[in-house]
Structure 1
Amino acid sequence: MKAFTPLCCAAAMAACSFSASAQSSRSLPSGNAGVTVYGVAATEMVHVTNFSDGTHVGSSNRLENSKVTASRLGFIGSEDLGGGLSAVFNLEMGYALDTGAQSNATATFNRSSLVGLRGGFGTVTVGRQWDVEDDILSRYFIFGGYGVFQFSEFAAISDTVINSVKYVSPNYGGVTVRGLYGFGERVTGRIAELAVNYAAGGPLEMGATYRTQKDINGYNTQLATVGASYKLPSTTWGEWRVHGGYAWSKPQLPGSHRTAAYDVGLVWSPESNTNIALDYVARDQKGTPDDSRFVRLGGEYFLSRRTSVIANLIALQNKGVASQRFYGVGAAGEDQSVVSIGLRHAF
């Protein structure tokens, strides 16, 4: 690697920490009327090998909008309607901090645009909203940008669904149930999802999801996931949590293959302001040698309650003609290494 690499490695190891928070980390408020403006401003300096622009393949040094926590601006609020019923809404847009441009040129509120009701029956929302996988899987898979949803068959593990209705049940002894239906309207095809999650405040959390999508050409794709997380007893060395997730994708598209993905990881918090994570993630395309896998060491060090330094070391391997990537368009059989360090501020 070029001179940039050891410099970033040193900075990464000095600041190495990680917080495995979901891309959509948020919760709809309840209570009296009010609107909150919130957001994230984050960027990363990145060195990436085997970067392909479709014509050339080579190393690249880049200033990027952060993958760990995408920059965003949002508005969230609620109104107490009485009798235990509240109206809720959320509008959220993504933007690229390095350029100032919207992350989606055709949808201003590409990360969320929903309205709904919350009461003793649970919460019902309609609009563009995060899928049920994104809601619960951040405890079982990497959700800090360099994650399993970067694999081409598993993007739906963290995605928004337009024209959708979503239901989230009350918490029954730590168990919540979620369901989503996307009408598609000749744009994305119909989507139906179901999720169940157990999180009672103890060391063990478990969840599972199922999704089926019929595209506008009538082809169906199924996606199922299961995961668990366990917090180990605290020690003088800090706090430890282990997690694991399994995902299975079955598309009907011509030429497609059933594919499985695995994520096994450890999160270590030696101090209250420091988190370090190590994950191994593998993608197994059934019936072919075109598999992929990567190891990620990531971290986050909090300079204050709102501001943190983030760092990542990633080694991605492609077998056969697999062309998975974190940056660029991908190149058949080419591995990719990423070293990044960045700054994130939440407001």
Structure 2
Amino acid sequence: MKNKNGVPSWAIRTLPALLMGLLASGHGLAQSSAVVYGIMDAGVRSTSGMSPANVRSVGNASMINSGINTTSRLGYRGTEDLGGGLQALFFLESGLNINSGATSSSTKFFDRGAYTGLKGGFGTLTIGRQNTLLADAVSPVDPLATRFASLNSNVAISALSAHQLGTEYGASGSSTGSYRLDNSLKYAYGFGKTTARVMHAFGNQSDSNSKLSSTGVSIDYRGADWQGVLAYTEFKTVTGLSLKGYVSGVAVPVGAGSLKLTYSGHTANTTATAKTRNQVLGLGGTWPLTPQIDLVVGHYQVNRSRSAAADDGYNRTIAFLEYKLSKRSLVYLEADSTRWKKDYLGAGLDGRSTGLSLGMKHSF
């Protein structure tokens, strides 16, 4: 049946319900959020006994570097409220070299992370390319709070960003580091001030479930008086060799600042008969000198042992003096000194390397 304007009666009855549904849908969209964010960090750096890539070398070098204080990046993250306390989420992040305008990775545009997931009363489950549990554990207890990632021993060795083993451990897509893994599932559940996490990354190999895979567990406590973390992960190569890594650390408030201590390391099978073992002890923290000026200092002792090779390593101290221009912008002065043990990363080179940097960081 139609009314006098020729509109079917069922449409007249249905239209109000349809409009209410659209309004409800619009209300649901209002509960969603998506954010574009980033960090732009660059500075002038001068070194002695170290290359522009912060590797032990001959002579002096001067350069402009990106990410001296904090790694430059561009990211996108968001959530959608699904109702009943359930949220969908996503995360995409690219590392940037703002001194050249290039992305940090030539093979992975979202090299710093690409995942989606669900969050609710059951915990948080994410799937994609993600930080390992070792990387997650280092962040809150590292003396420098992961500043200067390319020189920070906890980032490079404890969290495996630059393990220098020449083999891909886990599905990292790299033979130089395993800080993040492809094809991974991560689950986190918080109870009180404690959060437990488990993570598994698939190797995606047609002939094996274990090749290039990794499995890890971690637990952290975040209270008002102190914070502590403990994490363990085992990684596999495509030939079945293993790397077993761990991170432990505590952070305690000291006045308006903080004091942090870490003890971490890994043991890697580099061949069927050879092993490499690294241990890292880190100590330092952050001390506000004025409301605008912070002093951040970290000292790292690295000891390495290898099959059929002499033990070596290094001691490194890194300090930042940061002046806050605003909540989002700061300028910094950085100084570092490394004393090498024996022929670590270079035979016959000078036993000490130093660096000095002046830069600016802006977050948005």
Distance 1:82 1:151 in 2: 41
Q: Within 5 Å, which residues of 2 pair with 1:92-171?
A: 92-141=93-142, 142=144, 143-145=146-148, 146-149=151-154, 151=156, 154-156=159-161, 159-170=179-190
Give per-residue Cα distances to partners, 1:189-214, cap 9 Å, x unaligned: 111111100002x1211111001001
C-alpha distance in 2 between matches for 1:227 and 1:77: 30
Question: For residues 267 and 313 of structure 1, what CA distance do their matches in structure 2 show?
Answer: 15
Q: TM-score, length-normalised on structure 1?
A: 0.82
Answer yes or no: is the 8 Å Cα contact 2:114–2:128 preserved in 1.
yes
Distance change >3 Å, CA 126–CA 150, structure 1 → 2: closer
Match of 1:181 among 174, 180, 200: 200
**Structure 1 letter corresponding to 2:66:** N
Task: Give the one of 254, 257, 263 matched to 1:240.
Answer: 257
Q: Does 1 or 2 have the higher relative contact order (CA < 8 Å, sep 6+)?
A: 1
SS at match of 1:109: coil
SS of residue matched to 1:138? helix
Equivalent position SS for 1:139: helix
Report deviation, 1:87. Answer: 0.4
Q: Contact 1:78–1:87 at 8 Å: present in 2 too?
A: yes
Say how many residue pairs are matched: 304
CA distance in 1, matches of 2:348, 2:158: 16
Given that 2:282 and 2:298 are in contact with CA atoms closer than 8 Å, whether structure 1 keeps it comes out as: yes
In structure 1, the residue corresponding to 2:232 is in which secondary structure? strand
Kept in 1: contact 2:157–2:280 (CA 8 A) = no
Is the contact between residue 71 and residue 94 of structure 1 (CA under 8 Å) also seen in structure 2?
Answer: yes
Determine if contact 1:318/1:333 at 8 Å carries over to the other structure.
no
Structure 2 residue ranges without an equivalent (≥5): 1-29, 163-177
Q: Secondary structure at the match of 1:321?
A: coil
> Are 1:207 and 2:229 matched, yes or no?
yes
Q: Given the superposition, is the C-alpha separation of residues 293 and 270 from structure 1 closer, same or farther in structure 2, using an over 3 Å criterion? A: same
User: Within the alignment, does 1:284 sit opposite 2:284 as a pair?
Assistant: no
- From the superposition, tell whether residues 337 and 137 of structure 1 become closer, same or farther in structure 2 (CA, over 3 Å): same
Question: Aligned letter for 1:61?
Answer: S
8 Å Cα contact 1:91/1:114 also seen in 2 = yes
The letter of the residue matching 2:32 is A
Q: Distance in 2 between matches of 1:186 and 1:68?
A: 38
* Structure 1 CA distance for aligned equivalents of residues 282 and 51 of structure 2: 26
Say which is worse superposed, 261-270 or 96-105, in terms of deviation: 261-270
Could you tell me which residue of structure 2 aligns to residue 293 of structure 1? 315
Determine the C-alpha separation between the residues in 2 that align with 1:40 and 1:79.
24
* 1:269 is the counterpart of 2:288: yes
- Which residue among 241, 252, 255 is the counterpart of 1:219? 241
User: 2:131 corresponds to which letter in structure 1?
Assistant: W
Q: Distance in 1 between matches of 2:51 and 2:340?
A: 14
Q: 1:229 aligns with which of 239, 251, 258?
A: 251
In the alignment, residue 88 of structure 1 is paired with which amino acid?
L
Larger radius of gyration: 2
Letter in 1 for 2:355: V
Label 1:153 to 1:228 Cα distance change in 2 as closer, same or farther (>3 A): closer
Q: Which residue does 1:74 correspond to in 2?
A: 75
